[in-house]
Structure 1
Amino acid sequence: MTSPRRIDAGRGLGQVVLAVLEILRDLLERQALRRVDNGSLSPEEVERLGQALIALDRQFAELREAITATEPDRERNIPS
């Protein structure tokens, strides 16, 4: 079993990584919206972009949940 101090440090680092990734995701979304607003994308590209952003949101939700989960939550999700 790991010490509480080690768990807190790992969780803190995970939250920093998550914050950086959130900033990058926000930048990607802004750039995508700018391209859509400029009309530089075909309807098919707009659809693919929308699908990609939805998938990215889902992946971020899973990552956020994994990083913010408590130790007992992680132990319950480990397959036997």
Structure 2
Amino acid sequence: MTLTIDEHSLKNGVLTLVVTLVEVIQEALEGQALRRLEGGELTEEEQERLGQALLDLDDALESIKADHGLTASVADLRRGLDDVVDDVLDKLVNPSQWVEDESGGTPRGRA
């Protein structure tokens, strides 16, 4: 049996994953930057450099998505990741809601 791989789809899939992960990291960096700004930990020059670096990163990501037609696929992957994270957090916060009922094996609270 021969495995056939569509190189274009593979490249787009990998690029979509990389861009999505960079966006997630970017959000974490923005949150950390905001905490530092609110905490008064940064000089005015550092604030300017940080703000410009985050804007440059955002511009670069948008350019990559537009150049490769990835805007929709990155958005879809982000929604999927958000759903997974929401489910995991829900299981951690409300574990009793996820106990399998004895009749059908489906978690309570989920249909």
TM-score normalized by the length of structure 1: 0.71
SS at match of 1:49: helix
Q: Which one has more relative contact order, counting CA pairs under 8 Å at least 6 apart?
A: 1
> Greater shift after overlay, 57-66 or 23-32?
57-66
2:52 and 2:19 map into 1 onto residues whose CA distance is 22
- Counterpart of 1:18 in structure 2 is 19
Counterparts of 1:1-80 in structure 2 under 5 Å? 5-68=6-69
Moved over 4 A (4+): none
- Count of residues paired in the alignment: 66
TM-score after normalising by structure 2: 0.53
1:3-48 deviations in whole A, cap 9, x for unaligned?
Answer: x822112111111111111111111111111100111111121111
Partner Cα distance (2:11, 2:44) in 1: 43
Gaps of 5+ in 1: 70-80
Aligned identity (percent) is 35
* Unmatched runs of 5 consecutive residues or more in structure 2: 71-111
- Of Structure 1 and Structure 2, the greater helix share is in 1
Tell me the C-alpha RMSD between the 2 structures: 1.8
